[in-house]
Amino acid sequence: MVWLRFMVLLVWGLMSLVPSAMAQGPDVLLVANADVETHRLTRDTTRAIFAMRQRTWPDGQAARVFVLPNSHPVHARFVKERLSVYPHQLQLAWDRVVFSGTGQAPNRVRTQVEMLEQIASTSGALGYVEREYLDDRVQVISME
């Protein structure tokens, strides 16, 4: 009887994890144009590139950053999970470089389909999409 109670509690506990994992949705992947020679970035370098503080890939190639609107749920997940900042913090960084005249904001796209098309057709491009949008026109950049 104790064993049965333990099994019921174990199954109930595992089932309670499923909705929270499903609520997060599919993985959001860092993707780049096929011509990018860098295949791995640290979180700090990725954050610097997306904050528009670093304008080149580690090998010196110009980086062209693409992002979804701040209100897009995939943008929020990417920024929070991969960059460990909030969307409004990233927006503040973009506003600083634009208003100080030291740089530009990233290129905005409306959808993940548009994101994928822009990254695939722009040399040095970097952005993010959910795994289901991934195709062989772009490459996944792993994060350390």
* Residue 78 placed within a domain: yes
Average pLDDT over residues 18-40: 78
* Residue 128 placed within a domain: yes
* Residue 18 placed within a domain: no
pLDDT exceeds 80 at position 19? no
Mean pLDDT of the chain: 88
CATH code, domain carrying 136: 3.40.190.10
Return all residues near 41 (Cβ < 8 A) that are at least 6 apart: 30, 49, 58, 141, 142, 143, 144
For residue 1, name the pLDDT band (cuts at 50, 70, 90): low
How many other CB atoms sit within 10 Å of the CB of residue 109?
A: 19
* Residue 83 placed within a domain: yes
Domain of 68?
A: 26-143
Return all residues near 43 (Cβ < 8 A) that are at least 6 apart: 82, 83, 84, 143, 144
Could you tell me the pTM of the whole model? 0.82
The pLDDT tens digits of the residues spanning 45-86 come to 999 999 999 999 999 999 999 999 999 999 999 999 999 999
* Residue 48 placed within a domain: yes
pLDDT exceeds 90 at position 99? yes
Distance separating alpha carbons of residues 144 and 131, to the nearest angstrom = 18
The CA-to-CA distance between both ends of the chain, in Å, stands at: 47
Residue 118 buriedness (CB in 10 A; 0-12 / 13-18 / 19+): middle
Indicate the number of domains in the chain.
1
